[in-house]
Structure 1
Amino acid sequence: MLFGATGGSLHGPRLHGDVLPGGDWALFGPDGTMTLDVRLTLRAHDGALAHMTYGGRWVTPPPLREALADPAERLRIDPARYYFRTTPVFEPGAETYVWLNGIVCVGSGCLVQDGIAYKVSQVL
């Protein structure tokens, strides 16, 4: 299934800017696991562009599936009750952000009012 990311923003100590609209592929397994294949473009505050891809898994336990599908209930569920992790990879176009080529990151996703939010951290 293909979803269209509508955009967003990113905030960090070395990189901040906008997430441009793009595409998300998701494969839904019968066990409640969603496998992600996402490809997006980031625009830094200085206008520089970077390509970001990430795979990941979103595992929803059976007792939560109905509530997560309900717009009125989904935000009341503690994200610790489901598993939503990603592994972003960056490909910057500007020399300013070439440092992104040499890092490994892990992201943790959760549902928010306007869609999905991720906390992405560099693995040290």
Structure 2
Amino acid sequence: MSSESSGNMTPLAARPLFMMRLLVGPLQTIGGPAGAGRRVGGIPGGRFDGEKLRGVVLPGGADWQIERSDGAIELDARIVLQTDDDALIGMTYVGLRHGAPEVMARLGRGEAVAPSEYYFRIVARFSTSDPRYQWLNSIIAVGIGHRLPEGPVYLVHEIA
């Protein structure tokens, strides 16, 4: 691509934002018009820690999932972060987790699986009215996930 057609755009850069560990309750299959692949898991809590913000994930969030016919899992989650200095931040993210059928089966049984054996990525947005964290309203974040039996761990990065 020539510099003329790219308009000399700034290359993408990522800065670490935080690491987040979530607890996820048992998945409940709810089905739907597309088949039995729709399921939801409550998120009773968690923790996030980073250089610019840290705190807890409040109970009440949910992770809506679709298990596709190819074995991939599409994620659609909504949670509320409460910082250690008492700000409330809404976080929504969509994601995709997939791997070889035997790897996905092991994950489904709650077995330990190395993150290098499967693909697990999210795209996140934030919403807050707290003036200390309003900068979050104007960023896109991406994360790399690892699924543990009790819930996922994400390394979340701000895209600059």
Do both share a fold (TM > 0.5)? Answer: yes
Gaps of 5+ in 2: 1-38
Match among 47, 55, 75 for residue 17 of structure 1: 55
Distance 1:107 1:44 in 2: 19
Give the AA of the match of 1:121: H
Distance 1:69 1:26 in 2: 13
Distance 1:56 1:70 in 2: 20
Tell me whether 1:50 sits opposite 2:89 in the alignment. Answer: yes
User: What's the CA shift string for 1:32-73, capped at 9, x where partnerless?
Assistant: 1111110110001111101100011111321213322233xx
Distance 1:37 1:115 in 2: 15
Q: Report if aligned partners of 2:98, 2:104 keep a CA contact under 8 Å in 1.
A: no
Distance 2:138 2:151 in 1: 29
Tell me whether 1:5 sits opposite 2:43 in the alignment. Answer: yes
Match among 93, 100, 111 for residue 147 of structure 2: 111
Match among 72, 76, 87 for residue 33 of structure 1: 72
Q: Secondary structure at the match of 1:63?
A: helix
Distance 1:67 1:31 in 2: 16
Gaps of 5+ in 1: none
Tell me whether 1:90 sits opposite 2:126 in the alignment. Answer: yes
Superposed CA RMSD: 1.2
Shift of 1:30: 1.1
Name the stretch that deviates more: 15-24 or 111-120.
111-120
Aligned length: 121
Q: Report if aligned partners of 2:121, 2:145 keep a CA contact under 8 Å in 1.
A: yes
Q: Taking structure 2 as the reference length, what is the TM-score of the superposition?
A: 0.71
Name the stretch that deviates more: 104-113 or 27-36.
104-113
Structure of greater relative contact order (alpha carbons < 8 Å, 6+ residues apart): 2
- What stretches of structure 1 move > 2 A for 4+ residues in a row? none
Q: Secondary structure at the match of 2:132?
A: helix
Which residue does 2:98 correspond to in 1? 59
Q: Taking structure 1 as the reference length, what is the TM-score of the superposition?
A: 0.91
